[in-house]
Every structure is written in C-alpha cells, then in structure tokens.
Amino acid sequence: MAIRLSTRDADFAERFDALLAAKREVAEDVDAAVAAILEDVRVRGDAALVDHSRRFDRIDLETTGIRVTAEEIDAAEGDCDPETLQALAFARDRIEAHHRRQMPANETYHDPIGVQLGHRWTAVDSVGLYVPGGTAAYPSSVLMNAAPAKVAGVGRVAMVVPSPDGKLSPLVLAAAKLAGVDEVFRIGGAQAIGALAYGTATVRPVAKIVGPGNAFVAAAKRRVFGTVGIDMIAGPSEVLVIADHTGNPDWIAADLLAQAEHDVAAQSLLITSDPSLADAVEAAVERQLALLPRREIASASWRDFGAIIVVDDIADAPALADRIAAEHLEIIAEDADGLSEQVRHAGAIFLGPHTPEAIGDYVGGSNHVLPTARTARFASGLGVLDFLKRTSILRCGPEQLRALGAAAMRLGEAEGLHGHARSVAIRMN
Amino acid sequence: MAIRLSTRDADFAERFDALLAAKREVAEDVDAAVAAILEDVRVRGDAALVDHSRRFDRIDLETTGIRVTAEEIDAAEGDCDPETLQALAFARDRIEAHHRRQMPANETYHDPIGVQLGHRWTAVDSVGLYVPGGTAAYPSSVLMNAAPAKVAGVGRVAMVVPSPDGKLSPLVLAAAKLAGVDEVFRIGGAQAIGALAYGTATVRPVAKIVGPGNAFVAAAKRRVFGTVGIDMIAGPSEVLVIADHTGNPDWIAADLLAQAEHDVAAQSLLITSDPSLADAVEAAVERQLALLPRREIASASWRDFGAIIVVDDIADAPALADRIAAEHLEIIAEDADGLSEQVRHAGAIFLGPHTPEAIGDYVGGSNHVLPTARTARFASGLGVLDFLKRTSILRCGPEQLRALGAAAMRLGEAEGLHGHARSVAIRMN
C-alpha cells in the first residue's frame, strides 16, 4: 500500500518535500575500485579485460574472444522467436522515422553589418553503447540508444555487454544487428567503460559513451567524462499519472504497476482530483499485483515509494508535477492538453487514456531513454542531438573588421590581453 | 621556438601523435578535499561558506555578506571606464542577437497511422554561473555564459565569483548587470559549487551550473553532476591556424600569440602548405613576443606546446585538423570555404584573413565558450540549447493503440515485463 497525501493535510508541504527527498538508491562508494580498474585497463589493455572479466563475469575471454563474431550474432538471431524479431524491427522502423525528424539544420546568415555567422552540425565519429547484462538486458534499450546514433550519422557504434557465466541475451544481439551496431564486445563493468574510453588492442576507443549501468558503470562514466563524452547517469525509473474523474482506475493501476515492476527502487505516483478514483486505483493495484509475475518487485516499489496525492482541483496538478519533474508523465483528464501545457519539467508526456507509457517504451517512436530522479529539471531524453556537435562559423571582411575592431580591442585591453587587441590592430593599420 | 613538423618526415606520424597526446595540464588530485568541502556545505550551509572563504579567500563573509548587493554592483559599474562599458554593451547586444536565432521550435505531428508525436522546449528554471576570480576574471565570459541563459528564458541566473582578499573585478560585476544576472555571491571554489548544487540559507539551489574554474571547481562540478546539470569541464585554450601561401605571416603570428598569452598551457598550432610562410611566421612570432606585456606566458606556451606543421598540399590540412579537433580553427586560404567544409571536428571556425579569433572572443556574436582539449570530437560550444530541455509528447487514440499494441505487448513479454504488456492489454480487451 502506497502512502496517501492530500493537499488539504496540514502537513502536506512537509510530506510532499519528504516524498521528493526520498533516496531511492543507496549510493555505493565504488569510486576507488573503479579508478583502479580504469587505470589497469588504460595500462594493460586487453590483458586487464581478460582478468577483470574472469573475476566479475566468470568468463575466459582468451577462449571466447573479446569481440562477439558476426556468426555468433547471426546464430543468436536464429534462436529468437520470429514474431518478437518482427516486433523489434517494427519498433526500430518507428524509432528511426521519429528520430530522423530531429535532425537539425545547418545555418548561415549575414548580420546587418555583413558579418557572416552560422553553424554546422556533424556527427560524432564513434560511439560506445553500454548494455547491462543479466535481467536488465533489454533489447528495446539497444534500439533506443543505437538507432538515434545511426540516424545522426555516427560511423561506428561499438556495443559492450557483459556476459556473466558466458551468457548473452540472443534478443540483445539481434537488436544490435537490427539497429546497425557495428561491433559487439562481451565485456561489462568499469573495465568496459575503460576499454571504450582509452582503447585496447581489440577495442578501438570511441568519442562518446552512452547507456545505463550499475554503480560501477556510473562511476566509471563520471571519471572518463572529458576524455570522452557521456550521456546522463540514469537512476531508477519513475511514472507520475495525473488523472481527473474521467480516469479508468484499472488502466491507471496497470500503468503504475508497469513502472513498479522495473525495480524495487522504481517510483509510481498518482495525482488525482477525485478521491473516489484514488480509492479505486488503490484497490485495483492490490488486485492486479496478484496477477504479476514480478509482483514481489512491484509490491516493494509501490509500498516503499508509491504515493497517491489528492488535490482539490486538477488545475493544481501541474505545479506539483513540476516539483516532481517525472521521467514519465501520463495525463488522463478532460483537458489533458491544457494541463500538459502547464507542465514545464517532465522527460516525456503521454496524453490521454489510450497512451500507456508502455507504448512509449517500445513502439511509440519517441525515445525511452529519459531523465530520471528529477533531472528533467535540466536534462532531455536521448535524441539525435546527443550524437551531433555544432561547429560555429564566423567570417569578417575588411569592412566588418573595421566595424567590430575597436570594441574588440577595448575589451582585450580591459582584460589585460594585449595580444588579443594586437591581433585586431595589426589588421586595421 | 615551437616545434616544426613536416608530413615528409619519416617519423611524422609518431611526432604528430606525440603532439596530440601532450599533457598540457597536470591533473591535481583534489578529489578527497573537494568531497569534504561539498559535504560540509551540504550539512552546514552558510556557516561552511564563511569558514572556507576565510581560509581560501582571506575574507570574512560575516562582515561583507555572502551576496553582493545591488548598490555594490552599481558602484562597481560607476568605477568602470565608460568606453569599456559601451564595448561590453555592444558585445552583449551582438551575443544576444546571435543566440536568439538558436531558439529551437516546438514540434507536433501525426504519423501515418495517426499517432501524435512531438516535443516541447522549456527553459531550465535556474542556473548557476561560476566566474573565476583573480587574473582569469573575464567580463566577456560573464556575457558569453549569462546571455544565452537569459535568451533561453532562464528565470534566475545566480553568479558566484570568489573575492580573494575582498577584491572583486568591477568589470565582472558590470558585465553581470549588463547580461541580466539576477544574483551575485562573493564565493568561489568547491564551496561555491556546493552552495549552488545543494542550496544554503542565503543561496537558493540551482538546476544547472556552468562556467570555467580551477581544479577544485572542476572536481566539484564532476561530483555534483546528476544533482544538477553541468556544462563541459574546460581545459586550457587552443588555436589552430590553417594557411596557404596567401597568409600574412605577421597577422598569423599575432593570432598565435593571442592564444599563447592566455596561459602557459595554451596551445597555438599552424598548418601550412608554404614552407616560406612557416619560416616567416616563426620569425614574426619571435619579433612580436617582445612587444607583449604577457610575453613570459606567451613564450612559454609557444615553446612548450606550439607547433608548425608543413604539409605538401593544403588539401591535407583538414584531416590533420580533425585529429587535433581544435577549440578555435582559423582558415586563411584561397579556398577557405572548401577547406572548412572538409573539417568535421572544431569548436569554431574563423574564415578568411580578416577574422582573427579575438573578434569571436568578444564581439562576433557567436559564443566563445568552446570545447577544448580535443573534446570538439563530441561536444559543442555553449549555446541556447544548453539552457533548454526537451519534453517529448506522445498521444494515441483507441485506433492507434490497436495498431501498436500487439508489438508493444510482444516486446514487454519478451523482456519479462508482463506488467508492461498488461497495461496495453487491459485497454484493448
């Protein structure tokens, strides 16, 4: 049973603050271990990968090879259920089509005094994609990370995935092939991040690393940031449903549980203006929990981090939603559009009763890699822009230099950078 | 005297690799000290700011106050040279005008089966701007960081700047006022980053922190990343000039020295197809060095990290430029546009003989906060997008859910997320 709050409660502000502040993850301090592993990979390369994979994944890379061969990937594909492969290809096509629309345009223009300004977008040359092993190996995440990179024009996408006890998910390998991943390596953990950042004899270094991972992976990404680019550090997933009296309690309960089943640290929240809907959703959650294979995870998440917040007026919901800054926000209400427009901080918004978040997780076309843990206050979901960079372009002729030169020289002198001023003056005399 | 390379040298590949690998900064290990300071600020707030500012900046914040008052800022403005203020206002206007063009458009569309997809851009609510104290306190950098934030629509820009021995640069305060900075605090170092990230009684927390700083500031930004957004970690600045026989050696030498005067760790490089230009530039650098107030810094930079690379054909320059991935790239050549189009990795390109980098540093309009240390391979210069985030929007009706539902359920089941599949199924029955 989740907690219940009402904006009418005398202690609502405090309890809402406590909900926002709840630590859903224990920050493991793995920094020293990670620093040592990264340094070992930087110095010893493949030999370090072999050692650490033996220790962490109980696998002998000297026997299996570090790289997963094209034959292995084809064989894995053959092991997959054909209908699931079809669904993956359908998802890939929709993700690619949507992300193609995100490609930004280059620009060139001349300002009123004739200075040419502009910028040009180019793709990152090479990207490393981290894919977790074990139960969190999601083929859909391979598509969501690799497809935008390929749409952006990244020439080389190198995927790393740990292979505990020698096992790899056939669907993950099939998704890599579908998404156009160029190289797959059976390595994980901080050692895989080190290999991608510094390069080894087998793994050429990349320019940017994306994808979720455990505490070791997150700490390693934080450390190599600067040597390579990284995406955000992903935390446990969350959903917020805003619903008025039009909400179907069974549907809403199913959506809350779809989030809760991810992880005991996942969070499912409901804000509603209808107290009877609050009761009905709560009852439906309990009923549906019994039907879920992952009910132990889902019930722990719902018990520890779930919450139902009753507001007097549904118009009060957007302000609370902004405080929560949820990764996923469903709005099921008569005026879903109006409410949506009021919200400033959310990773993705799912509008109306027929858009369960699970559609966006797989086949909506938009990206399911979204900012968690209130980072939607400053971060965006993954997209094509994450795999492009912008070069600015400036050109003056003699006239423009004359028009701008005096101010530039004045500022150079004021900052004590006389060489800056001289580089302008020498052209004006 | 800088080193000289030629692509005809038998050992060119090795020497070029060594040039790329040269460490221009000693990485200070301040991580433990920074972790302790951040934790102290998180727990003790303003009291920690007072203690650390006393220790590092020799200033008593209990006397001066933590916040710089509007009266102090007005007084500082009064102390500035009016022509310099005018130049700053001119720069601000040009920066704002250019950055307004970077505002991205929201999008909504319906795909062929009627699914509504789109995204909406919103500004980050609050941004912290770190400004270094002492000799690296550049008013132009205040404009370059704050103006795009304001153009993006950031409601609150809070600037922190250390005040060693109680001193603040009047021009920095004046630039803050010109750029629309909302709050200024006389704090620096890791403690200022902690205050912006966690908040104290006096400093409300922000959502994102930008701006350059020393090793303590960089380590602190790396640590608070996730709690807040951060921009890139800036390293020492660099310029690469590509010039054919049309290049004016005196002008090119002045540009190389404008870069070198920043810092002994700055880097100035020239690639030319004209050996006699290489000699003439080298001689001009030596001559002009004598004229520079900062000649000690500039000559150390040029001696330790400068290089002239002679190529057989100017058409060979872009490939080398991509390996270097320079923060600033000047192209002075008959076919500057053609060469520019070949380059993929550069922070900013300055085209033609009349566009010294110093114009872009101050009044070109484009941003001078650019990716250093080869990070142009994956990063862009600062811009309006750094202060916005994108919320994706998805809407299905009953028909669209029917069209997408089967594939979504199939993938949910394949990933072992039966609750995901149920949230779709419950709406389709």
The CATH number for B407's domain is: 1.20.5.1300
Note whether residue B369 is domain-resident.
Answer: no
Q: Is residue B72 part of a domain?
A: yes
Do A170 and A52 lie in one domain? The reply is yes
State whether A59 and A161 are in the same domain. Answer: yes
Asked whether residue B115 is domain-assigned, the answer is no
Last residue of a domain, one of B204, B230, B256: B230
Query: Do both B131 and B264 map to the same domain?
Result: no
Which of B173, B86, B194 minimizes the C-alpha distance to B131?
B173
Residues of B (316-375) whose Cβ lies below 8 Å from A: 340, 343-367, 370-371, 373, 375
pLDDT for the residue numbered B135: 63
pLDDT of residue A108: 97
In-domain check, residue B382:
no
Does residue B262 share a domain with residue B201? no
Strands B107-110 and A126-130: unpaired
Enclosing domain of residue B42: 31-108+121-230
Give first-to-last CA distance, chain B, whole Å: 79
Query: Is B226's CB within 8 Å of A207's CB?
Result: no
> A142 and chain B: CB distance < 8 Å anywhere?
no
Beta strand pairing status for A107-110 and A208-210?
Answer: unpaired
The model's confidence at residue B234, banded by pLDDT at 50, 70 and 90, is confident
CA–CA dist B230, B243 (Å, integer):
36
For A104-125, how does the pLDDT look when each residue is reduced to its tens digit (9 = 90+)?
A: 999 999 999 999 999 999 999 9
Q: Please state, as a whole number, how many other Cβ atoms lie within 10 Å of the Cβ of residue A55.
A: 12
- pLDDT tens for chain A, residues 1 to 429: 789 999 999 999 999 999 998 888 777 779 889 999 999 999 999 999 999 999 999 999 999 999 999 999 999 999 999 999 999 999 999 999 999 999 999 999 999 999 999 999 999 999 999 999 876 679 999 999 999 999 999 999 999 999 999 999 999 999 999 999 999 999 999 999 999 999 999 999 999 999 999 899 999 998 999 999 999 888 888 999 999 999 999 999 999 999 999 999 999 999 999 999 999 999 999 999 999 999 999 999 999 999 999 999 999 999 999 999 999 999 999 999 999 999 999 999 999 999 999 999 999 999 999 999 999 999 999 999 999 999 999 999 999 999 999 999 999 999 999 999 999 999 997
Chain-chain contact of B359 with A405 (C-beta, under 8 angstroms): yes
User: How many CB contacts within 8 angstroms connect chain A with chain B?
Assistant: 369
Whether A67 and A180 map to the same domain: the answer is yes
Secondary structure percentages of chain A, helix, strand, coil, to 5 = 50, 15, 35
Same domain, A44 and A185: yes
pLDDT tens digits for range B1-58 = 789 999 999 999 999 999 998 888 777 779 889 999 999 999 999 999 999 999 999 9
Q: Are A371 and A381 in contact (CB under 8 A)?
A: yes
- Which of A 223-242 lie inside 8 A of B, CB atoms? 225-226, 228-229, 232-233, 235
Say if CB B154 and CB B121 are below 8 A apart: no
B194 and B319 in a single domain? The answer is no
Q: Determine, yes or no, domain membership for A293.
A: yes
Tokens of B347: 């922070």
- The structure tokens 């205040």 sit at B142
pLDDT of A388 reads 98
Is B327 assigned a catalytic role?
Answer: yes
A21 domain-assigned:
yes
Q: Which of B184, B207, B230 is the last residue of a domain?
A: B230
Among A182, A203, A230, which residue terminates a domain? A230
Q: Is A255 on the interface with B (CB under 8 A)?
A: yes
Residue A59's domain is classified under what CATH number?
3.40.50.1980
Do A55 and A131 belong together in one domain? yes
Backbone angles phi, psi at A130, to 5 degrees: -85, 130
Total domains, chain A: 3
CB A135 to CB B344 under 8 A?
Answer: no
Same domain, A242 and A218: no
d(CA B345, CA B204): 38
B213 near A CB under 8 A: no
Judge whether A262 is annotated as a binding position.
yes
Q: Does residue B39 sit in the same domain as residue B55?
A: yes
Residue B200 shares a structural domain with residue B215: yes
Does B187 reside within a domain?
yes
Is residue A312 domain-shared with residue A248, that is, in the same domain?
yes
On whether residue A333 sits in a domain, the answer given is: yes
CA atoms within 13 A on the CB side of A144: 22
List B residues 289-318 in contact with A (Cβ-Cβ < 8 A): 291-294, 298
